[in-house]
Amino acid sequence: MGERPRPPLPRPRGSAWRRGRVLAATAVLTGGLLLFHGAVPDSPVRLGSLLESFLPWLGLVTAVLLALALLRRSATAALATLLPLVAWTAHFGALLRPGADHERPCGLLVVQHNASDENPDPAGTARALAAAGPDLIALEELLPPALQAYEDALAPEFPYHAVRGTVGIWSRHPLTGTRQIDIRPEGVDGSWNRALRTVVRTPYGDLAAYVAHLPSVRLGATGLASARRDESAGLLGAALDAEDQDRVLLLGDLNGTVDDGGLAPLTSRLDGPDRGFAFSFPARLPLARIDQIMAASATVGPIRTLPATGSDHLPVAARITPA
């Protein structure tokens, strides 16, 4: 006997314009968050910073909403998803545009990496970073037991280096005027040294390079604890204001994305990469780029991640072209 014919699937109730109102409202809300994320208040749980840390992922939310709208055959919801789609494209679309790969590279290739104070293979990490062929390498979470391993592994190709506290920079070009930058939040003792400034004598002229590691941000029951990071960002911004060099480079684990309003003292003074997302943390499932390469009077080219090391961060690399 032949199989009995299956009953047709039930058609969604209502017209295409009346279905999916909840989806449409969610799409409008998503678009509003993309357009006006800066208006989301931080107090009392730092909700604004939390949203801005994961802002690019609202593009995935938009894609899901569009798929559901098509599944529901809802013209209203499908039309509403145009708002977050346009908003996301306006905000992040430029980061996806193709680069001019045919052009001859110029400028300085720089690498930024939080190498982790629990890295089981500092020498291997150093060799992996050097293999990318950079001119400058900035490292954070440098502790005395591992520091010698980094120095020994990098010395052959990077004869100039400076370390202050737990941050350091290795260079193919001479360094001068190195000093510690005090970005300690209130109440932190003097042993907490996590920023330095030096001048790199590059073939393109002198460039002031800053390496910084801002305080960590923690997500807990009371929200996002970022007050100390924001305070350090303000202190670092004040140091940048006092800088007498026109060309400035900032490399560091800033524990925040370039969209995070808490980093406004830095993002208002420096420009980030012109292309690329390069999510760097956590290394096993990167969700955000909190390792930053930023500059003034110079262009930061496409940013990319390098292969994983023994750290919980991925290294990031970009080419800096002086203006």
The letter for the amino acid at 228 is R
Surface-to-core class of residue 235, CB atoms within 10 Å of its CB (0-12 exposed, 13-18 middle, 19+ buried): middle
For the CA atoms of 128, 207, 209, 183, the dihedral, rounded to the nearest 10 degrees, stands at 180
List the single range of 1-10, 145-154, 224-233 with lowest mean pLDDT. Answer: 1-10
Q: What is the pLDDT of residues 52-72, one digit of tens each?
A: 888 999 999 999 999 999 998
Confidence of residue 287 (pLDDT cuts 50, 70, 90): very high
Cβ neighbours of 165 (radius 10 Å): 16
**Residue 42: pLDDT over 90:** no
Q: What tokens does 33 get? A: 């968050």
pLDDT of residue 292: 98
**Residue 46: pLDDT over 60:** yes
Q: Which CATH number among 3.60.10.10, 3.90.280.10, 3.30.365.10, 1.10.357.10 corresponds to the domain 108-322?
A: 3.60.10.10
pTM: 0.87
Q: What is the pLDDT of residues 239-259, one digit of tens each?
A: 999 999 999 999 999 999 999
pLDDT of residue 19: 74
DSSP state string for 28-44: HHHHHHHHSGGGS--TT
Bridge partners, residue 248, by sequence: 208, 296
pLDDT of residue 102: 41
Confidence of residue 101 (pLDDT cuts 50, 70, 90): very low
Closest CA to 16 of 64, 54, 72: 72
pLDDT of residue 221: 56
pLDDT of residue 35: 92
Alpha helices in 196-308 (DSSP H): 227-241, 264-267
DSSP-assigned letter for residue 173? S
% pLDDT > 90, the chain? 76
Question: Taking the chain, what is the end-to-end CA distance rounded to the nearest angstrom?
Answer: 80
CA angle 148, 253, 43 (to 5 degrees): 145
Q: Where are the domains of the chain?
A: 21-93, 108-322
Residues 116, 22: Cα–Cα separation, whole Å: 44
**Residue 104: pLDDT over 90:** no
